[in-house]
Copies of this chain bind each other. A is one copy, B any other.
Amino acid sequence: MEPIRVAILGFGTVGKGVYAHIKEEQQSLEQTLNRPVQVTAVLVNDESKHRDVANHVLLTTNMDDVLAQQIDIVVEAITGVESAYQYVTAAIEQGCHVVTANKAMYAARGQKLQELAEERRINVKYDASVAGGIPIIDTLNQIHQLESVHRIEAILNGTSNYILTAVAKEGLTFHEALTQATRLGYAEADPSHDIDGFDALNKAYILANLLRKDYQEITVNRRKGLDQLQLDEVLNKQTNQVLKPLVTIDATSESAIEIVVEPTWVEENHPLSSVDGVQNAIVISSDRLGSLKLEGAGAGEKPTAHAIVQDIVKTVKEDNRILV
């Protein structure tokens, strides 16, 4: 059987995780898909760093060389918007399916990519971009297909949640908590977008866009990060309340889907009050289902790699050309 040829763009936390997952689960993947999955090329930024990849894998800084490898599926796990967008566009134009973990890129350009992909009957999947190991995209898509989702409440940034939990439960200062989050590998190397709310906003935008009807806008009513919290706000604890880095998506207005990103005091019986540390969670409210909550690992090498490999499996199953 011809292998399914996968390229991985980026070989940081996520890229390495995907590489390891595919290697470790070689057999079970082949059993599931009736064809082996092979990582054929890895794209990086800095050629001089040591990379622990097998000899047959092309390691390059040149996307043209990657695409010359007859790739079936491109996994995009780099940082930043522009290069990522260009690489992914080139991949789609060449008929490759795409699986991305890059929320900044997908929030900014996801719609364009989906349009381009639809023309070419290509899949662009992005489950790993929101709440890492929680299968939120497919779940939300399926519910939304059957009935209106009117509200989402979520904790989508693990670093912020870790910090607020450590401040509240361990009595750390904000800076001690951030340092600890960085040391434990929860915060990004540059955690500024964890802290200023833009990471959560990007994820909220991706979810809102999934719910959006053609004529609706997405409006951001407020984006407040931990960095804008005043000390007295944090200390202003009410009994039975906890401060959570909340994302709210309100889809009840006909003209717009409204996003609020803001640390918020919630009652102890609020469904997100017990979500602590680096955990993420999402509560989806709709008429028939009532409220459905998903809670799990929002980031990290293994959960994120799992989500990406899940998207690879789905891509293969949905493409009869690949599946043969």
Contact = CB atoms under 8 A, between A and B. Distances in A.
A136 to B, nearest CB: 11
Interface in A278-306: 287-297, 302-303, 305-306
A135 interface: yes
A296 B165 CA distance: 25
Contacts of A212: none
A57 interface: no
Nearest to A275: B293
A295 B292 contact: yes
Contacts of A267: none
A305 B290 contact: no
A134 B295 CA distance: 13
Copies of this chain present: 2
Contacts of A146: 25, 28-29, 32, 306, 309-310, 313
Nearest to A32: B145
B274 A289 contact: no
A133 interface: yes
Nearest to A132: B289
A313 B288 CA distance: 16
A101 to B, nearest CB: 15
A32 B147 CA distance: 11
A134, A145, A309: most-surrounded residue (chain B CB, <10 A): A145
B309 A289 contact: no
Contacts of A293: 293-296
A133 B289 contact: yes
A296 B302 contact: no
A118 to B, nearest CB: 15
A289 B313 contact: no
Nearest to A288: B302
A134 B287 CA distance: 14
The number of chain A residues touching the other chain, given as a range, is 20 to 34
A199 to B, nearest CB: 20
Contacts of A271: 295
A275 to B, nearest CB: 10
Nearest to A294: B294
Contact of A147 (B289, B294, B306): B306
A303 B21 CA distance: 35
Nearest to A306: B288
Contact of A135 (B133, B139, B288): B139
Contacts of A288: 21, 133, 302-303, 305-306
Interface string A146-179: 1100000000000000000000000000000000
Contact of A289 (B28, B143, B290, B306): B306
A142 interface: yes
A277 to B, nearest CB: 11
A134 B283 CA distance: 12
Given A145-B32, A146-B309, A146-B310, A290 B303 contact: yes
A193 to B, nearest CB: 24
Contacts of A21: 288
Q: Which 4 A-B pairs have the closest CB atoms?
A: A292-B296, A288-B302, A293-B295, A288-B306
Given A29-B146, A288-B306, 18 more contacts: A25-B146, A28-B145, A28-B147, A32-B146, A133-B292, A135-B139, A142-B313, A145-B313, A146-B306, A146-B309, A146-B310, A271-B295, A287-B302, A289-B306, A292-B297, A293-B294, A293-B295, A294-B295
